[in-house]
């Protein structure tokens, strides 16, 4: 558990330093980000029926990632969905701010499994936002969770949805 907490804290710190503003990124860059920071296995690839797009996906017990890219492997859309114990926690600004305050004042060891799960969701969304736009990505990520705002930046539309009934959340990003 200690290693997980330390890993998430390091990950959180690095997520605040985003990886650069781009209007495009490749499947390999996306895959590297997801593997490096979120322990997702390799993406699976297929061509669409017309052979014009590359479809990619990943699926495990709690996360589903899918999207498409052009023939040059530049990502055009991505969707990530994850199950979480308490989806409402993600949209509760006060609870999330309390979580960050708790982490800062009491240390990472004070975080519960639920707290870590919420951090994982926020950081996963932040990774996608950071790939697209490094101008205050963490602030933009939190705004999507708290207020359901759609972010339009660098030719992309990014949104987060929270499903309280099924205890899940998703982020969708589409290049316009």
Residues 6+ apart with CB under 8 A from 98: none
Q: Which two tokens stand for residue 97?
A: 């701010």
The partner residues of 45 in beta bridges, in order of sequence, read 56
Indicate the average pLDDT of the chain: 83
Query: pLDDT by residue (tens digit) across 86-118?
Result: 899 998 999 999 998 988 888 888 889 889 889
How big is the chain, counted in residues? 176
Rg (CA), the chain: 16
Query: pLDDT by residue (tens digit) across 11-39?
Result: 455 444 444 445 789 988 988 887 776 66
pLDDT of 7: 43
- Using left for φ > 0, alpha for ψ between -120 and 50, and beta otherwise, residue 7 falls in alpha
Give CA–CA dist 15/127, Å, rounded. 7
| Average of per-residue pLDDT across 47-70 | 87
Range of the domain at 23: 2-175
Of 11-15, 53-57, 64-68, the range with the lowest mean pLDDT is: 11-15
Question: What pTM value is reported for the model?
Answer: 0.80
Domain count across the chain: 1
């Amino acid at each position: 558990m200690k290693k997980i907490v330390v890993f998430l804290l390091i990950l959180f710190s690095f997520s605040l330093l985003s990886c650069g503003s781009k209007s495009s990124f490749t499947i390999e860059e996306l895959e590297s980000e997801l593997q490096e920071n979120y322990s997702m296995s390799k993406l699976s690839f297929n061509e669409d029926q017309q052979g014009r797009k590359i479809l990619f996906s990943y699926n495990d017990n709690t996360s589903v990632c899918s999207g498409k890219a052009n023939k040059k492997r530049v990502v055009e859309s991505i969707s990530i969905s994850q199950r979480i114990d308490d989806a409402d926690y993600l949209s509760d600004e006060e609870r999330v701010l309390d979580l960050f305050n708790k982490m800062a004042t009491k240390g990472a060891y004070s975080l519960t499994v639920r707290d870590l799960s919420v951090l994982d969701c926020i950081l996963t969304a932040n990774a996608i936002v950071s790939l697209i736009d490094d101008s205050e990505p963490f602030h933009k990520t939190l705004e999507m969770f708290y207020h359901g705002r759609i972010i339009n930046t660098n030719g992309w539309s990014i949104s987060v949805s929270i499903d309280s009934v099924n205890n899940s959340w998703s982020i969708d990003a589409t290049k316009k």
